[in-house]
Structure 1
Amino acid sequence: MDPKAKEFLQSFVGKEVQNSPSPFMNWLRPVMRAVEEGSLTFEYVIRKEMTNPFGTLHGGVTAAMIDDAIGATLISYGEPYFYVSVNLAVDYFSSAREGDMVVAKTAILKKGSQITNAQCEIWNKEMTKLVAKGYTNLLRTDIKK
């Protein structure tokens, strides 16, 4: 883990993310809980606008949480390049409702020079019920931050 990137990310632990380079992450409003090498942990409170007509966490928002959390995890490597997702597969296991807190934990599984493979699990607050799990491959672009 890049020391400067680690210090930067750790400065957000315990705080709601508000000034992310990702406007979508600012909308999601997660609280960063942990920073580890190749892994971040976020908590999200499910708001009404994140739900589907059944009152449960919308699958698209779930996928977006996974994608955005994994993207933030790449910051830990301190690279000057942006990455883009080339695929995203999400398995849904259980639901979450408005007012519930969910925990997203990312893991970089393989970091190559061009392609990175990662996953993210979303759990209920107690970490006893898996809500969803997503896998993605990300491509390093030549675009610098």
Structure 2
Amino acid sequence: MNANEKLLAFLNQNIGRKFSEGNPNPVTTWLDGTLLAAEMGSITAEFEVRQDQLNHAGVMHGGIITTILDEMMGVTLITYEIEHLYVTINLHVDFLFGAKLGEKLKAVSQVYRVGKKIANVEAKLFNANGQLIAKATSNLAATGVRVSQ
């Protein structure tokens, strides 16, 4: 079993748990999402809008939305059969609606293409009614850091 298959098996054993449980990434831990589903090239998670994530207008700050989408895309990419870790080289986010304190949001991500040097990934954030709050696409570049490290 390669490193990616091990990660995917680990994720599937942790459906319904917080990403923060045993995660070494402080940003992922702070976001405090709950894993809902994982398969190769796609992850679904739930996040609750907290007080410390609001902007001056009382809705989730765009930077937090962007962080959720970026984290989801990065985590999803490492479920794919890749040899090296990837880093974001560009990120396009469309903000469509706001999210208020206490709302539960569902993030769904999908890998569209993984090349030798560049990967393309998308993530969408929905409210409990299924309304699309925001969507993002990103291109990520392969680094020299192997996944198994």
> Structure 1 residue 139 and structure 2 residue 141: aligned?
yes
- 8 A Cα contact 1:116 1:137, kept in partner: yes
- Deviations 1:4-49, CA, capped at 9 Å, x for gaps: 2321111221001112232101000000001122100010000001
- Deviations 1:93-113, CA, capped at 9 Å, x for gaps: 101001000000000011112
Count of matched residue positions in the alignment of Structure 1 and Structure 2: 144
Unaligned 5+ segments in structure 1 are none
Could you tell which deviates more after superposition, 48-57 or 4-13? 4-13
Unaligned 5+ segments in structure 2 are none
Q: Which residue of 2 aligns with 1:15?
A: 17
> Structure 1 residue 77 and structure 2 residue 77: aligned?
no
Q: Which residue of 2 aligns with 1:103?
A: 106
After TM superposition, where is structure 1 displaced by more than 4 Å over at least 4 residues in a row? none
Which amino acid in 2 is paired with 1:140?
A: A
Percent same amino acid at aligned positions?
31
Q: Which whole-Å CA distance do the structure 1 matches of 2:129 and 2:34 have between them?
A: 16
Give secondary structure in 2 for the equivalent of 1:14: coil
- 8 A Cα contact 2:7 2:79, kept in partner: yes
> Structure 1 residue 27 and structure 2 residue 30: aligned?
yes
Q: Which residue of 2 aligns with 1:54?
A: 57
Q: Which residue of 2 aligns with 1:118?
A: 121
Q: Give the TM-score, by structure 2 length.
A: 0.91
Q: Give the TM-score, by structure 1 length.
A: 0.93
- 8 A Cα contact 1:16 1:32, kept in partner: yes
Q: Which whole-Å CA distance do the structure 2 matches of 1:12 and 1:25 have between them?
A: 15
- 8 A Cα contact 1:5 1:77, kept in partner: no
C-alpha RMSD of the superposition: 1.5
**Shift of residue 80, structure 1, vs aligned partner:** 4.8
Q: Which whole-Å CA distance do the structure 2 matches of 1:20 and 1:121 have between them?
A: 22
Give secondary structure in 2 for the equivalent of 1:77: coil
